[in-house]
Amino acid sequence: MAVTITIPTALREYAGGNAQVHLEADTVGALLRGLVELYPALGRHLFAEDGRLRSFVNLYVGDEDIRFLQGEDTPLSAGDTVSIIPAIAGGRR
């Protein structure tokens, strides 16, 4: 089943300049593994050395944060869109 993953601007240089990648995957974890297999340099930006997803990387299936679903075990269906949304800090006091 083809799933679309959107790549934020800050990470596109590690994903061949792509804004979107289409992969076959049945879970979010499988999708991420497939993405990193295609673009190994992206892996260090998504995963910590212990293999866990970095805390500042937020993933959404449609409008749903995977942390409130089944995490990396969240199932995917054909046509789903998964978005990588890096956490951004800043602002004014």
Does any domain span residue 63? yes
The average confidence (pLDDT) of the chain is: 93
CATH number for the domain spanning 34: value is 3.10.20.30
In DSSP terms, 33 is beta-bridged to none
Please compute the mean of the pLDDT values over residues 55-67 and round it to a whole number.
Answer: 94
Q: How many domains does the chain have?
A: 1
CA distances from 33 to 23, 39, 90, 93 (A): 10, 10, 30, 39
Range of the domain at 20: 2-86
Does any domain span residue 91? no
Instruction: Output the pLDDT for position 89.
Output: 62
Instruction: Output the pLDDT for position 19.
Output: 98
Residue 92 above 70 pLDDT? Answer: no
Residue 72 binned pLDDT confidence (cut-offs 50, 70, 90): very high
Residue 87 binned pLDDT confidence (cut-offs 50, 70, 90): confident
